[in-house]
Amino acid sequence: SADMFCSVFYRWYWQKEKREPYVKFMEANYPPGFSYEDFGPLFTAEFFDPNQWADILKASGAKYVVLTSKHHEGFTLWGSKYSWNWNAVDVGPKRDLVAELATSVRNRTDLHFGLYHSLFEWFNRLFLEDATNAFKTRKFPTSKSLPELYEIVTKYQPEIIWSDGDGNAPDTYWNSTGFLAWLYNDSPVRDTVVTNDRWGVGSICTHGGFYTCSDRYNPGHLLPHKWENCMTIDRSSWGYRRDARLGDYLAIEDLVKQLAETVSCGGNFLMNIGPTHDGRIAVVFEERLRQVGAWLKVNGEAIYGTKPWRAQNDTVTPGVWYTFSPKEGKVNAIFLNWPGSGTLELGEPQAKLGETQVKLAGYKELLKWVALGEKGMIIALPQLTPQQLPCQWGWTLQLTDVN
Q: Where are the domains of the chain?
A: 9-302, 307-400
Closest among 155, 165, 163 to 180, alpha carbons compared:
163
Angle formed by the axes of helices 283-299 and 252-264, nearest 10°: 50
Judging by beta carbons within 10 Å of its beta carbon (0-12, 13-18, 19+), is residue 119 exposed, middle or buried? buried
Q: Measured between alpha carbons, how far is 253 from 121 in angstroms, rounded to an integer?
A: 37
Residue 373: predicted pLDDT: 86
Sheet holding 160-164, edge to edge: 64-70, 112-118, 160-164, 194-195
Q: Name the strand (E) or helix (H) holding 302.
A: none
CATH number of 9-302: 3.20.20.80
* Calpha distance 97→231 (Å, rounded): 23
Separation of alpha carbons 182 and 332, rounded Å: 40
266 and 227 Cβ atoms separated by less than 8 Å:
yes
Confidence at residue 88, expressed as pLDDT on a 0 to 100 scale = 98
pTM of the model: 0.95
| CATH tag, 307-400 | 2.60.40.1180
Residue 1: the pLDDT is: 36
DSSP designation for 152: H
**Angle, in degrees to the nearest 10, between helices 50-59 and 97-108:** 50
Residues of the chain with pLDDT under 70: 1-7
So what's the pLDDT on residue 11? 87
- What does the alpha-carbon distance between residue 402 and residue 355 come to, in Å, rounded to a whole number? 8
Query: What pLDDT shows up at residue 2?
Result: 38
pLDDT at 176: 98
